[in-house]
Amino acid sequence: MIRVLIADDEDMIRSALASLLRLEDDLEIVAECADGESAVDQALALRPDVCLLDLEMPGIDGVEAAARIRRHVPARCIVVTRHARPGVLRRALSEGVDGFVPKSRRAEDVAAVIRDVAAGRRYVDPEIAADALRDERSPLTDRELDVLRVGQRGETIAQIAATLHLSGGTVRNHVSSILGKLHVPTRQQAAIVARERGWI
């Protein structure tokens, strides 16, 4: 039996997917979570075999939740998303995510991916993989992307620095580099460019 945790902030989608996956003889849904923080907490408490995590959740997103879970639990993690941007795929793979699936897939397809991932294989949706190969590479470093990601809701330099465990001066240097590379005047505009191109 494969023990599965599901996290999605959209109640109807989460409960519908859980109900459909419960029809599979070899899957047991051990938790349904509405955000990334509770997914991490429940994964630590229940130690599921596979975590199925929505990318866009309040608080921490699915990729960050997967990274935190994997630091403490030998669970395999699959990220599910409505907007499969190539940059997000690269970030997910760099964090050790085992599967990447669009929300448009049928429940039986998701069940098959869960089985593959539980068996130790990786799965990336073919269309997402093809888009990633065609996509423009980001000129920003991983740390610069972290600064944009953490500050994309208007957080102050001090808040970004505290979250990333950096000094304020280091964050300001990263912001200056980002603005120069993207040729935009503000951090907010840089975040918009990065989101549109799928880098964050």
Which tens digits make up the pLDDT trace of 106-142?
999 999 999 999 999 999 988 777 766 666 678 899 8
Burial label, 20 (beta-carbon count in 10 A; 0-12, 13-18, 19+) = middle
Q: Which pLDDT belongs to residue 121?
A: 96
Residue 198 backbone class (left: φ over 0; alpha: ψ -120 to 50; beta: rest): left
Domain boundaries, the chain: 2-134, 142-196
CATH level 3 topology of 2-134: Rossmann fold (3.40.50)
- Output the pLDDT for position 163: 92
pLDDT of residue 180: 94
The CATH number fitting domain 142-196, selected from 3.90.1310.10, 2.60.40.3500, 3.40.50.1100, 1.10.10.10: 1.10.10.10
Asked whether this chain's domains 2-134 and 142-196 adopt the same fold, the reply is no
CB 82 within 8 A of CB 56: yes
Average pLDDT over residues 49-69: 93
